[in-house]
Structure formats: C-alpha cells, structure tokens
Amino acid sequence: GAVVSQHPSWVICKSGTSVKIECRSLDFQATTMFWYRQFPKQSLMLMATSNEGSKATYEQGVEKDKFLINHASLTLSTLTVTSAHPEDSSFYICSARRQGRDYGYTFGSGTRLTVV
Amino acid sequence: GIQVEQSPPDLILQEGANSTLRCNFSDSVNNLQWFHQNPWGQLINLFYIPSGTKQNGRLSATTVATERYSLLYISSSQTTDSGVYFCAVKETSGSRLTFGEGTQLTVNP
C-alpha cells in the first residue's frame, strides 16, 4: 500500500504561537508532498507543493512566511504555522503520491488546528 | 486551471436506496480519484480511476475520459455511507490534484 501518517491529529494553541505539523510517507519515498487546507463545509484547497531538498511552491494568496514548509527527507514534510491567529484555525491535510501505474494520491488523516 | 464540477451538491437517501454521483472536468486528466471524507475528516480513497470501470463491493465507478466525466455508483446504501464524496483530478500536464466541491450524502435509517 501507500500510507501517509500525519501528526498531530488536533492541536489547540494560543494566538501568536507557532505550530508544527508533520507528514510522513511510511512505506514509500515521496519527493513531492502536498499541503491542503479545508474550511468547514468547503472543499480542499491546495496551499503548497513541498519538494524534497528545495523550496516549496506556494499557491497564489498563501503567505510563505506564515506557512513554513520543510521537506528535508524523502519521507518527511513539515508545515509550521507561524504566529498563529484565530483565522488560521482550519483543517490541514497532507498528501503524497507513490510512483507506479495504479497508485493515486494518498492523504494523511489531517490536523485540526484551533487558535484561541 | 482545470475546473471540476460535482453533482448533486446534496443528496438525502433512505437506507437501501441506490445513487449516482457525477463529476465533470474541463480538461484532459491522467489521474482521477473518488474519496469519501468521514465525519472525522479523514479522506478515504475509494477509487483510482483515470479511465474505465471498477467495482468494490457496493461501490462502483466509471470514468469516460474522452467525454470528461466520471460517475460513482452506490448501491444498497447504508447509514455509514453518509459523508462527503469528493472527486479529484490531475491534469495531464502538472502534478497538482484539484478537488470538486463535493457531494454531501445523508443516508437515513
């Protein structure tokens, strides 16, 4: 299979603090991982593409200084929400794709962030 | 970028009923997946189906790539089928997966 593990599942933090979310591919190597954000009752929106060993590519309108992405190894990407504010409260999901003919994209279980 | 439209946006069924969910997309794709998002937010991959037909138990899916649509069939629906169903596609050129707005399915006992 292709398993992606994401931690933590949920986190509550105070306004102004930073939160790190980890995304790991457990049984395959992922040179590229993807970070999505989902607001209640809405679809998933791509925030950024994480590239192993190089800078992430951010979608238009996503602040790269607020959402720091690090993809230091072939199995780990991290998303750090810096100086979090209540409007950053959301559901964040990572994804990766195992190379091969019949593999699609696999998603982590998501992280529900609440900033108080 | 590619546009993905899902219909219907909402669907309410009685347990045991059958349903068909549709996904239209605006450009050529080489990846199409159907997901079920459970109440805890987890995306469960139902089908990887860029073309053709697949079946898995009570679920089946068909993608007609040349006509740019895909269908998800749910037969003998159960209350546990409730949730949001997303269609997501990847354009032939590119690496990003684009999601539709989803179909909210409610199955009542």
Residues of B within 8 A of A46 (CB-CB) are 96-98
Higher pLDDT, B69 or A54: B69
pLDDT digits (tens, 9 = 90+) for A88-99: 999 999 999 877
Which pLDDT band holds residue A54 (cuts at 50, 70, 90)? confident
CA distance A43 to chain B (A): 5
Whether pLDDT at A84 is above 80:
yes
Percent of chain A residues topping a pLDDT of 70: 98
pLDDT at site A72: 83
Count each helix (H run) and each strand (E run) in chain B, helices first.
Answer: 0, 11
| CA angle (B58 as vertex; B55, B64 as ends), nearest 5 | 40
Residues of A within 8 A of B102 (CB-CB) are 43
B18: amino acid identity, one letter: N
The answer to whether B45 contacts chain A (CB < 8 Å) is yes
- Do A105 and B95 make contact, defined as CB atoms within 8 angstroms? no
Instruction: Pick B42's closest partner by Cβ from A43, A45, A109.
Output: A109
pLDDT at site A2: 82
pLDDT digits (tens, 9 = 90+) for B83-101: 999 999 999 887 789 999 9
pLDDT digits (tens, 9 = 90+) for B26-75: 999 999 999 999 988 999 999 999 999 999 999 999 999 999 999 999 99
DSSP reduced 3-state for B66: helix
What's the DSSP call for residue B51? S
Whether pLDDT at A52 is above 80:
yes
pLDDT at site B75: 97
Query: Which of B3, B36, B99 to mutate to probe the A interface, most A CBs <10 Å?
Result: B99
Region of poorest pLDDT, from A26-40, A68-82, A91-105, B49-63: A91-105
* Mean pLDDT computed over A37-55: 92
Percent of chain A residues topping a pLDDT of 90: 77
The answer to whether B100 contacts chain A (CB < 8 Å) is yes
CA distance A109 to chain B (A): 5
In our burial notation (b when 16+ CB lie closer than 10 A, e otherwise), range B43-66 reads: bebbbbbbeeeeeeeebbbbbebe
Whether pLDDT at A101 is above 70:
no
pLDDT averaged over chain B?
A: 95
Whether pLDDT at B20 is above 90:
yes
Which pLDDT band holds residue A102 (cuts at 50, 70, 90)? low
Q: Are strands A111-115 and A10-13 parallel, antiparallel or unpaired?
A: parallel
Interface of B with A in 1-30 (CB under 8 A): none
